[in-house]
Amino acid sequence: MIPTHDVVLVGGGGAGLRAAIAIAEFNPRLDIAVVSKVYPMRSHTVSAEGGAAGAVAPDDSLDEHSYDTIAGGDWLCDQDAVEMFVQEAPRELLRLEHWGCPWSREPDGRIAVRPFGGMKNMRTWFAADKTGFHMLHTLFQTSLKYTTVRRYDEWFVTRLLVDEGRVQGVVAIDLASGRVEAITARAVILCTGGCGKVFPFTTNAAINTGDGMALAYRAGAALKDMEFVQYHPTGLPFTGILITEAARAEGGYLINKDGYRYLQDYNLGTPHKEPVLKSMELGPRDRLSQAFMQEFAKGRTTDTPYGPVVHLDLRHLGAKKIDAKIPFVRELCMKYQGLDPVKDLIPVRPVVHYMMGGVHTDIDGATTLPGLYAAGETACVSINGANRLGSNSLPELLVFGARAGHAAAEYASRLYDVTPGIVVQTEEERRRVERDLLNRRGHERIADLRTEMQATMEASAGIYRTRAELEKGVERLRQLRVRLADVAIEDDSRTFNTERVSALELAFMVDIADAIIASAVKREESRGAHQRTDFPARDDIRFLSHSVVYRNPDGTPRVDYMPVTITRWPPAERVYGEAAAHAGPHHAAGRSLPAGETV
Amino acid sequence: MRDHITLQVARYLPEKQSEPTFDEHEVPCPKDWVVLDGLNYIKDRIDGTLSYRWSCRMGICGSCGMTVNGEPKLTCATFLADYAPGPLRIEPLRNFPIIRDLIVDIGDFMRKLAAVKPFILRRYEKPISEGEYLQTPDELDEYKQFSMCINCMLCYAACPIYGLDPKFIGPAAIALAQRYNLDTRDEGAAQRMDVLNEHAGIWGCTFVGECTKVCPKHVDPAGAIQRYKLTGAVESMKAFFMPRGA
Amino acid sequence: MAESPAYNYHPRWLRRRVSTYWWLEKRSYFAFVLREGSCLFVAWFVVYLLLLIWRVLQGDAAYQEFLTWSARPSVLLLNIVSFLFLVYHAITFFDAAPRALVVHVGKKRAPQQLIGASHYAAWLVASAVVFWLLLGA
C-alpha cells in the first residue's frame, strides 16, 4: 500500500518545523506532514527566553564552545556530536537570520552576543529576551512558503505503527472531530519536546508530557540518559514561570536570606560586581540548583507559602538596562509576582526545566528503530550529557532538526511501501481509544493520579537522590499503574475530548517516570544533574557511559549501558570560578585516552 | 477579602445541544490565581468534561484567549481576585465558530495568516557564508512592535468588522504583513500590497481601534493598518498616474 | 502551503450571529458609531455653507431671508448639534492621525504627541486666519 505521506513529523515546534523545511528543501518531491497536538505557534519553543549559542566572535573558537559544552555535561557528551554541533550552530542561526529572525544587534548592525551560564566566551545570540518566541514564529512563518508541507493541526498521536521491524506511520486522533486515523509514512520524526510535567514544579507548559519519548519507548526504541533532569535555578515559586538565565548574564546576583551571595561557598568562584564568565551566577545550572538545596539544608533560604526560595537581585542593573535587555522578565515579575525587579528582589527556586535524556539517536537523528528519527529535546544524541548549558538547546533544535530531516528524507527516498499488518494495528488502536477511553467507569480521578505521580518524582528523583527514596519511588509508581487501570473518564463526547487526551498523556508520563527512576537507581555515582547522596563522587571507571532503557514485554523498564564517544578531551575535573581561567580545550587536546583513565 | 468566586462557564456539546448553556461553580481565589487556575480546578476536581485550550500559562503561547465578562482576555493573565466574589462569566472567544465548550475554530485566521506571505521575500538571497544582513537597532525598532504578536486572536474577537464580515482579513494578519514590509531585509512589500489593498484587506477596517485596546502584547494592529492605508493610497495614486514608472 | 485536511465549515460548530444592535453593547463601540455618524453632520454643514453662498449670490434680500430661516429654533438646534458633532469629529480625527502618520526626524520617529499637537496647532492657525478675514478685512 502506498503511504499517505513520505515523512511524518510528530510535533510542530522548533525541531519539527526546522526538519520539515530541511526535507522540503532537500527533496521538493517528498510529501511532508506535520502532526501536532497544538497549533505550531503554541509549541513550547515559544517560551524560551535567553538565547542561542553560536561561536562567531573573532576571539572565540569552536573548540572553546565544544569544551564548555563537554565540561558542562560532566563528560557524558558524545564528543563527535558536540564538535559537529558547535560547527553547525552558527550556520543554522545565520540561516534563521536570513529567514527574518529579529536577532538583537550591535549599533553597527552586526548580530549581538551576550554571556551565558557555563560559557567561557560571549557567544549567545538573542532576540531581546524572547528568543524562542521569535525563532518559533520565524520558523513557522517560513514553513508556510513550502507547499509540500501539510499540517495536521490539533491531531494527537497515540501510537506508532511498527511492522516488519520498521516504523510505518502513526495513529492519531483528530481532536476537533474525534475520529481516529492512521497517518502512514515511510519515515517518522519525533519532535515532541520534553516531559517536565512529570514533575510538580516546572517551567514547562501543560503540553510537555513526553509523548514522543513514550511513543518510542512503547514501540521498542531505546531511551537514553533518562535520569538526567535539569533544574533551572531561577523559576518563580508558585507558577514555575522561567526567569531567564539572561537576567544573571546581564549581572543579576543570587542571594540567600541574609543577603549573601551564597554561590561563593560552593566552588563557583569569588563574587565580583560585574558578571564573570563561568563563575558565580554564571556557573552551570546543575551546580546552582544543588547549591540552593544545600542552602536550604543549612536553613539559609527564605520560607514562603509556596516553599523555600532565594532571591534574584537585579536592582543594581537599573531600569534602562532591564528594559533594553530583559524586558520580558520585568513584565513577568510585575504580572505574576506583583513586584518590579527594578526596585524589588525576585523570589526564585529551582524548577524542572529540561530533559537531557530522551529517545536515543545517533549523530543523524536515527533511533534504534528503522524509519524512526528524533530531534530536539525529545532526542538524546547526546550533546548535553549530564547537564545542559543554557543557550545550547535552541541551536540543538535547528542543527538536529535539519540533520534528522535530511536523514529521514534520504530514508524515505528509498520508497518503502506500507505493509498490510498496520491495518490491524490501526483497528486495535481505534478500539482502544474509542471504546475503552470514552465514558469510562472508574474510581480514580486523572488529576489525583497525576498529582501522585508528580509528588513521587519530586521526592524520589529530585535534585538529590538516595537509593532508599528511589526504590520507594519504584514502588509508588507500581501502585500508581494499578490505580491508572481504574481511572474514570466522564467525558463521552468525541468532539474535542480533552479528558481523554489528559488520560492518554498521563499514561505516557507514567511510562517516562518509570524510565527515569529505573535509570536513576542503577547509576551509582553523582554526575551533572544526577546527584546521589549515597554515591557523591563521579565514577568514570564504572559509569562513563550512557544509560539506555528499553521496555520489557511486561511493561517494566530494563536498563543497560552504552559507551560515550570521547574524541579529543578525556574526562577532567569540572572547574568554575577563578580556576576556569586555566581550564580549556587546549588541556589534553590531541591526546585521546581510553575511557575510564583520567589525566 | 473574598476567598471564593462564582464562575459561570459556557458549555456547548454539539452532539447534545443546539445552544450554549452555563454551568456555575464556586472556586477558591487566592491572590495568585488566574482564571485558568479556576478552570483547572473545575476540570481536575469537579467536572472533568470541561474543555478548553491552554499551554504556557505565562502569556506567550496565545492558546488561552476567552471572553471574560464580555471582554476578550488571556485567561492566564486575568486574576480571579480582581473579580471576587463574582459571578465571573467565561465564554469562548467571540466571532469564531464554537467547536465545543470554550474552544473555537481558528482555521479562518490560519488561512489569512498564510495569505499575507509572512516570510522574507527577496530577489537574491545572500549565501550563508557571507554572514548576516546588517540591521541597526533603529531599523529593528521599526518593525519590532509588530513582530510581538502571539496570535492569540483577542483582536479578532474584539473587532466588530470581523464579526459582521468574516471575509475581512483582520488586524493580526495585517500587522504581520507590516512586520515584514518594514523589515529592511524584506523586498516583498509589493506582493503583499496586492493581497491587502482591497476591500476584504485593509480597506475593510474603519479604525474602530478595539483591536489595539485588547492586545496583550501592545502590538497596536490598528496603527499598523492605518499606516498601511496611507501606503496603500499612495501606491494606488502612483499606479494611476505613473502606471509604468511607479 | 497546502490546506490542512480539517473541515472549513462544520455543520455542528456553532456560529453566533452578531446582533444588529452590536454597537450598543460597549461604550467604545457606541463612541465609534457616533464618530462615524458625525460625518453626516459634516455633510450637513457643507450643504449649509453652499446654501449660504448661493443665497449671498442672489442678493441682500435673499441673504436676510436666509438669516431669518437660520434663526428658526429647529435650524438653530440642528446647527448647534452639528457643531458639537463637528468638534467631536475633529478631536477623534486628530487623536487618530498620529497612529497613521509616522514621521521620521533623522533616524528617530517623531513622538506621537508632537504629530497630534501639530494638527491642533494647524487648526488654530487656520481658524485664526479665517476669523481675521471675516472680522478684520
Q: Could you tell me the pLDDT band of residue C5, with boundaries at 50, 70 and 90?
A: very low
Shortest CA gap A103–chain C (Å): 20
Shortest CA gap B100–chain C (Å): 8
Catalytic choice (A159, A248, A530, A574): A248
- Mean pLDDT throughout A169-191? 96
Q: A56-60, A168-172, A432-436, B86-90: which has the minimum mean pLDDT?
A: A56-60
Q: Judge whether residue C108 has pLDDT over 80.
A: no
Q: How many Cα atoms are found within 13 Å in the side-chain-facing hemisphere of A560?
A: 9
Contacts of the segment C82-85: beta carbons below 8 A, 24+ positions apart: C82/C41, C82/C44, C82/C45, C82/C48, C85/C34, C85/C37, C85/C38, C85/C41, C85/C42
Q: What is the pLDDT of residues B149-182, one digit of tens each?
A: 999 999 999 999 999 999 999 999 999 999 999 9
Q: Could you tell me the pLDDT band of residue C8, with boundaries at 50, 70 and 90?
A: low
Task: Give the three cell numbers for residue B230.
Answer: 496611507
- Among the partner-chain residues A105, A239, A445, the one whose CB lies closest to the CB of B140 is A105
- CA-to-CA dists, residue A65 to A73, A104, A394, A587, C13, angstroms: 12, 21, 15, 14, 53
Name the closest residue on chain B to residue A448, using Cα atoms. Answer: B44
Tell me the residues of B at the C interface, defined by beta carbons under 8 Å apart: 12, 14-15, 19-20, 70, 94-95, 97-99, 105, 107, 110-111, 114, 138, 160, 163-164, 206-210, 213, 220, 222-223, 226-227, 229-230
Provide DSSP, A140-174.
HHHHTT-TTEEEEETEEEEEEEEETTEEEEEEEEE
Q: What is the pLDDT of residues A457-468, one digit of tens each?
A: 999 999 999 999
Q: What is the pLDDT of residues B111-156, one digit of tens each?
A: 999 999 999 999 999 999 999 999 999 999 999 999 999 999 999 9
Q: Cβ C2–A147 below 8 Å, yes or no?
A: yes
Residue A150 β-bridge partners:
A33
Q: What is the 3-state secondary structure (H, E, C) of A260-311?
A: CCHHHHHCCCCCCCCCCCCCHHHCCHHHHHHHHHHHHHCCCCEEECCEEEEE
Sign of CA dihedral A435, A439, A443, A444: positive
Q: Choose the most confident range, by mean pLDDT, from A61-65, A133-137, A582-586, A590-594.
A: A133-137
Cell 497612529, residue located: C99
* φ/ψ (deg, to 5) at A344: -115, 165
Q: Which of the two residues, A577 and A294, has the higher pLDDT score?
A: A294
Task: Write b or e for each residue in A331-354: b if 16 or more Cβ atoms lie within 10 A of its Cβ, otherwise e.
Answer: bbbebbbeeebbebbbbbbbbbbb
Fold entry, domain B107-241:
Fumarate Reductase Iron-sulfur Protein; Chain B, domain 2 (1.10.1060)
pLDDT of residue A587: 57
Q: Cβ B136–A108 below 8 Å, yes or no?
A: yes
Q: Does A523 touch chain B (CB under 8 A)?
A: no
CA distance A191 to A211: 9
Shortest CA gap C16–chain A (Å): 18
* DSSP 8-state class, residue A180: E
- Among the partner-chain residues A147, A176, A495, the one whose CB lies closest to the CB of C1 is A147
Whether A274 and A321 have beta carbons less than 8 Å apart is answered as no
Cell 536570513, residue located: A98
Nearest one of B61, B54, B49, B22 to B37, comparing CA atoms = B54
Whether A9 and A191 have beta carbons less than 8 Å apart is answered as yes
The verdict on whether omega for the bond into residue A58 sits within 30 degrees of 0, i.e. cis, is no
pLDDT of residue C9: 63
- CA-to-CA dists, residue C89 to B234, C36, C83, C85, angstroms: 24, 8, 10, 6
Whether A207 and A58 have beta carbons less than 8 Å apart is answered as no
Tell me the residues of C at the A interface, defined by beta carbons under 8 Å apart: 1-7, 10, 12
Task: Give residue B3's Cα distance to chain centre.
Answer: 32
* DSSP 8-state class, residue A45: G
Interchain CB contacts (distance < 8 Å): A and B:
158
Q: Where in chain B is the domain with CATH 3.10.20.30?
A: 4-104
- pTM (two decimals): 0.94
Q: Cβ B206–C36 below 8 Å, yes or no?
A: yes
Tell me whether strands A545-551 and B65-68 are parallel, antiparallel or unpaired.
unpaired
Q: Judge whether residue A153 has pLDDT over 70.
A: yes
What CATH number labels B4-104?
3.10.20.30
Q: Cβ A150–C2 below 8 Å, yes or no?
A: yes
Shortest CA gap A289–chain B (Å): 22
- Mean pLDDT throughout A262-269? 92
* DSSP 8-state class, residue C134: I
Q: Cβ B164–C18 below 8 Å, yes or no?
A: yes
Task: Give residue A442's Cα distance to chain centre.
Answer: 34
Name the closest residue on chain C to residue B95, using Cα atoms. Answer: C16
Q: Cβ C7–A177 below 8 Å, yes or no?
A: yes
Q: What is the pLDDT of residues B19-42, one digit of tens each?
A: 999 999 999 999 999 999 999 999
Q: Does A443 touch chain B (CB under 8 A)?
A: no
Q: What is the mean pLDDT of chain A?
A: 93
- Mean pLDDT throughout A128-151? 96
Q: What is the mean pLDDT of chain B?
A: 93
A500 tagged catalytic: no
Integer distance in angstroms from the first to the last C-alpha of chain C? 68
Q: Where in chain B is the domain with CATH 1.10.1060.10?
A: 107-241
Q: Judge whether residue A98 has pLDDT over 90.
A: yes
pLDDT of residue A64: 93
Catalytic choice (A232, A353, A465, A532): A232
User: Which chain C residues are closer than 8 Å to B208 by Cβ?
Assistant: 28-29, 32
Whether B116 and B173 have beta carbons less than 8 Å apart is answered as yes
Q: Judge whether residue A592 has pLDDT over 70.
A: no
CA distance A165 to A282: 46
Q: What is the pLDDT of residues A81-90, one digit of tens each?
A: 999 999 999 9
Q: Does B136 touch chain A (CB under 8 A)?
A: yes
Q: What is the pLDDT of residues B31-78, one digit of tens each?
A: 999 999 999 999 999 999 999 999 999 999 999 999 999 999 999 999
Q: Cβ B160–C23 below 8 Å, yes or no?
A: yes
Whether A186 and A412 have beta carbons less than 8 Å apart is answered as yes
pLDDT of residue C12: 83
CATH architecture, range C21-84: Up-down Bundle (1.20)
Q: Does A105 touch chain B (CB under 8 A)?
A: yes
- CA-to-CA dists, residue A467 to A433, A481, A514, angstroms: 37, 21, 15
**A106 in helix, strand or coil?**
coil
- Among the partner-chain residues A149, A154, A174, the one whose CB lies closest to the CB of C1 is A149
* DSSP 8-state class, residue C100: H
- Mean pLDDT throughout A45-63? 91
Kindly report the length of chain A.
Answer: 599
Domain boundaries, chain C: 21-84
A248 tagged catalytic: yes
Q: Judge whether residue A525 has pLDDT over 90.
A: yes
pLDDT of residue B43: 97
Q: Choose the most confident range, by mean pLDDT, from A180-189, B192-201, C19-28.
A: A180-189
pLDDT of residue A79: 96
Give the chains touching B; criterion: ≥3 Cβ pairs < 8 Å.
A, C
Q: Could you tell me the pLDDT band of residue C79, with boundaries at 50, 70 and 90?
A: very high
**Contacts (Cβ under 8 Å, ≥6 apart) of A197:** A204, A206, A208, A209, A210, A454, A505, A509
Q: Cβ C4–B210 below 8 Å, yes or no?
A: no
The verdict on whether omega for the bond into residue A61 sits within 30 degrees of 0, i.e. cis, is no
CA distance A79 to A585: 12
pLDDT of residue B27: 95
Q: Cβ A176–C7 below 8 Å, yes or no?
A: yes
